[in-house]
Amino acid sequence: MADRYLSFTGTTPGRLLSRRLGLPQPAPLKRWSAARPGLDGGLLHLTAGKSGLDLAPVLARAGLSTGGPGGADDAGRPASVVLDATGVRDVADLAEVHAALHPVVRSVAASGRVVLLGSPIDAADHHQAAAQQALEGFTRSLGKEIGRGRTVNLVRLADADAAESTLRFLLSPKSAYVSGQVIEVGAGATTGTGPAGASAADPWDLPLAGRTALVTGGARGIGEAVAETLARDGAEVVVLDVPRAGADARRVAERIGGLALPLDITAADAGARIAEALPGGLDVLVHNAGITRDRRLANMPAERWAPVLEVNLASVLRTTDALFAAGTLKRGGRIVATASIAGIAGNAGQTNYGAAKAGVIGLVRSLAPRAAAEHGVTVNAVAPGFIETRMTAAIPLVIREAGRRMNSLAQGGLPVDVAETTAWLAHPASGAVNGQVVRVCGQSLLGA
């Protein structure tokens, strides 16, 4: 369903009226397209504290130009700002963060990006820990005030090369609905060839070429967008959905040149049947299938509780275990599970859904280090907020509008926003990103 408020505030009368009434003024987001794959304008690279990070080679490889006066476009507006704050170690150094960004933050172009780089927190140095933790509060606060479709994120890293895929994502239109997030990048990739585990053939234009991806719940909505995006990146995609959605699954698979697999993911033998259908193995597993059965706990019978936990959590655990046991998940593989902001902040009427999605987060945090060490597989999650789908279109108007506006970007996201985040986590060069839960919520004002 179209966001008519967003369209209205884009008109002159709409801007004047919303400003006078103090209402949100969302800016149309610039998303990735083949015609416009990058941000419009240059990059401004700043430093706070005494940094030993050599970021220049990564930025050069990524084609992130620092051309123009101070990295600005022809109008003097940088499209993105990277502040290297890895050397911030005490309160005095935090003054340099203010000094670096205060003069430029207003000039960042609409739909621009601000990315802070921080260091892993040193548990043995409470001054460094305090200063680096302060960067999180700074990032989230700036994200809530910067406006005009601009985003602010913090990346904690120890190795610039290992962070290349993350920087490319966050400094591109693909991250349009990701803001206020803190992403930790390890010191190196789990596996792969080339820089940070990237494919030697063509690591950025078709990163998933020659790889097989499985998307559960892939026949419609977010799952369909994920399947399309992974196929765009070169993967052969298997679209799994329940048999009654078989026609839709086949339609999606035919459009993207993939395969349809009609299967109830809650079946006891679902994992074995997936393994049988993929004798060549699996590189990317996207756990996207999910259902809702909303009702307040006092009015929720067991028959509404159980299916949500079964589809959204138990099947994820069971299938993952089965595919590891069968050896179907290849070394260098990626698991991306779909959590939800409801699993982080909770939501009235969704005790079942919130419990299941919080369980997915628990799975990711527990399994990620072991899967990387034992199998060379990363495990991460995306946590969508209010995403414009057929399901959210059926929500009553007042609740729907509240969901759209209660984030820093003051609008709902699109399925492609979740898909682009999933594709970044599935990238062969993202092997140093592990155990992360990335909220695709426009920086929800609740729980984020």
Query: Is 353 tagged catalytic?
Result: yes
Report the distance separating Cα 35 and Cα 43, nearest Å. Answer: 20
**Which residues make beta-bridge pairs with 381?**
337, 437
pLDDT value, residue 142: 98
- Average pLDDT of 334-339? 98
How is residue 204 written in tokens?
A: 């950025």
- Average pLDDT of 334-348? 96
**Identity at 146, one-letter amino acid code:** I
- Average pLDDT of 233-256? 98
pLDDT value, residue 75: 58
Closest CA to 175 of 378, 432, 422, 428: 422
Indicate if the alpha-carbon torsion angle 73, 75, 81, 87 is positive or negative. positive
Report percent pLDDT > 90 for the chain: 81
Say which of 169, 305, 353, 424 is annotated catalytic.
353
**Which residues make beta-bridge pairs with 237?**
213
How is residue 364 written in tokens?
A: 């990711």
Residues of the chain by 3-state class (helix, strand, coil), percent to 5 = 45, 15, 40
The count of C-alpha atoms lying within 13 angstroms of the C-alpha of 444, restricted to the half-sphere facing its C-beta, is 24
Order of strands, edge to edge, in the sheet holding 259-262?
Answer: 259-262, 236-241, 212-216, 282-287, 329-338, 378-384, 437-440
Model pLDDT for residues 3-19, shown as the tens digit of each residue: 888 998 989 998 898 89
Residue 76 contacts residue 104 (beta carbons within 8 Å): no
Inform me whether the pLDDT recorded for 200 exceeds 50: no
* pLDDT band of 190, cuts 50, 70, 90: low
How is residue 236 written in tokens?
A: 């052969």
pLDDT value, residue 189: 56
Q: Report the alpha-carbon angle 163-138-440, nearest 5.
A: 55
Using the 8-state DSSP alphabet, how is residue 313 labeled? I
Report the distance separating Cα 44 and Cα 41, nearest Å. Answer: 10
Q: Report the alpha-carbon angle 295-298-303, nearest 5.
A: 60
Closest CA to 359 of 388, 394, 318: 318
Q: Which residues contact 95 (CB under 8 A, 6 or more apart)?
A: none
Superfamily of 195-440 according to CATH: NAD(P)-binding Rossmann-like Domain (3.40.50.720)
Domain spans in the chain, listed from the N-terminal domain onward? 37-185, 195-440
Closest CA to 149 of 120, 174, 179, 121: 179
* pLDDT band of 235, cuts 50, 70, 90: very high
Model pLDDT for residues 76-112, shown as the tens digit of each residue: 689 999 999 999 999 999 999 999 999 999 999 999 9
Residue whose tokens read 């001054």: 127
Which one is the CATH code of 37-185: 3.40.190.80, 3.40.50.720, 1.10.3720.10, 3.20.20.10? 3.40.50.720
Residue whose tokens read 């959210």: 392
CB-based burial label for 382 (10 Å; 0-12, 13-18, 19+)? buried
Using the 8-state DSSP alphabet, how is residue 160 labeled? T
Kindly report which listed range (9-18, 159-168, 409-418) carries the lowest average pLDDT score: 9-18
Report the distance separating Cα 3 and Cα 250, nearest Å. Answer: 30
Taking each continuous run of H as one helix and of E as one strand, the counts in the chain are 16, 12
Residue whose tokens read 């992360």: 436
Judged by DSSP in three states, 282 sits in: strand
SS3 assignment for 145-187? HCCCCCEEEEEEECCCHHHHHHHHHHCCHHHCCCCCCEEEECC
How is residue 350 written in tokens?
A: 């969704």
Report the distance separating Cα 425 and Cα 382, nearest Å. Answer: 9
Model pLDDT for residues 280-310, shown as the tens digit of each residue: 999 999 999 999 999 999 999 999 999 999 9
Q: Phi, psi at residue 10, to the nearest 5°?
A: -85, -5
Model pTM greater than 0.85? yes
Q: Report the alpha-carbon angle 306-308-314, nearest 5.
A: 80
Inform me whether the pLDDT recorded for 198 exceeds 90: no
Residue 157 contacts residue 35 (beta carbons within 8 Å): no
- Average pLDDT of 331-359? 97
Q: Does this chain's domain 37-185 share its CATH topology with 195-440?
A: yes
Per this entry, what is the length of the chain?
448
Closest CA to 324 of 337, 312, 313, 333: 333
Distance of CA 385 to the CA centre of its chain: 11
- Average pLDDT of 43-50? 96
How is residue 444 written in tokens?
A: 């929800």
Inform me whether the pLDDT recorded for 201 exceeds 90: no
* pLDDT band of 202, cuts 50, 70, 90: very low
